[in-house]
A and B are shown apart, each in its own frame.
Chain A
């Protein structure tokens, strides 16, 4: 391959021929209209930074694959990617069953020689702080809120004020249909994922009694088949939402129930959507959000232009494309009572006449909490533990007791959840 003349002179920090990077190097070798001399020295420094940075990408699905491609074509050379899933999609039949992370890494590396992408097929929770410490920046492209919260708490926890290298910018992207968002977090310095949790309120669950006795919607019939009927009739079989026989069984049960109540609209596709919680997704939205995340990464690493996440500046871009094109770019404020990056407990309004059980149930749905297996205690006593089983059993009677018996107005209590390594501090406020 002929590669003699680099477009722009670069010094020792950049390696090898730069001919293929002509476009990028031209831009990085000239001062920008929005840069100042102190922050940006055109030429070898930003180019060297790109070459030497190590980036971690979490997720190798629709968003993750785009992110890997974008990073490789932004000149990054050292990328790691984590994804626990195998390919179930029918895109390339020969890849079905392989780890998403490895297939994505191989595909991008083949197209972009010189870029090394190291895949890890597993969970982010398998890795410790030493692992995360190797990277300069982390980009998340996943559909799991839980994983986002975990990596966020981990990166915030890693910050050591004595060691500037311990601060790892976190860039997060997410999409649903024609909508999406990208956001940049400088752990401990700017609003974190946990501060922003209420921006993504969980869908309210349908009460069990509606499913059991008064279904009204086709979805209620499907949930009934899924949550109640399967347990009753196929208890010994683990439900596999990818098994068409299982979905068909649920579909037919739901259809039967719908007929009984004269409810219209149960379809196979809806059954699948409800049971698997399928979020509509399209390639173009993934492209927009992934590229926005990588553009921010590129700007952070090179200082070639201002980036989202500078403390006191915008850190969040919301995108909607279903009615014209609209972006809202703003600064989400850091919260002092954030359980992860703040130092104050959060107020939680409770009805003193309601039961502790209702509070525990509510924690799963409250936008600012979203804790599904909570363990609750005050400084003096244990209120309720979801696990282990022995503790659950001994604290279960408390669920029936009134809040006013268990928590004083203004009393602080802590909630932990095995999914996260942190304690959430709340103050009960009678409402």
Chain B
């Protein structure tokens, strides 16, 4: 989880794009994936995200994202497959539960959509420095700094919390608490009580953070920003491509 949202430092064309362009890409791609119900289109979009990941040289990191999305999509696909009774029946998986051609096609679409729509969001975060995102949100989108800061800080705390959770799990495991189980219901039952120590330590950390903010002049007045966000022809090109994809999704349907 922590690796899916963390920025990876680099100096690729993608890294240098204006953060707003990347934000636009993530959102419009997502929308395009929901507009279109064409398998090939979605597959194309998915492949294009792989190209983006590769050119930002975060492919190794992105693999985890694709894997997680695949598992999620696969579960979704199974459900969809079992609960679509219409269309030509291929075979019965259980008495009265048919697997049909429409079911297969639709569930496959769902999985592709899921993967193609969500991976850009994760890639965007991997390829955009937080502070640029923050600058883009406050200076260009005019979101008040306080609110933009909340969003960015929430993302920043994910690795911290995940490390903390690991620690708590290990502490429990070392005292003989069984945490490894394949049964998802049992897993929830096992993990739920551990959320309390996580919550407590988080609150404590957040207090330290608040003090740290206070002692470093947070919200004392107008803020300057270190980086001027440029707009290059690559940004223009990227916007054109994104728009074209959106248009294509509408045309293809």
The answer to whether A and B belong to the same complex is no
Q: Report A's interface with B, CB cutoff 8 A.
A: none
Which B residues lie at the A interface, using CB under 8 A? none
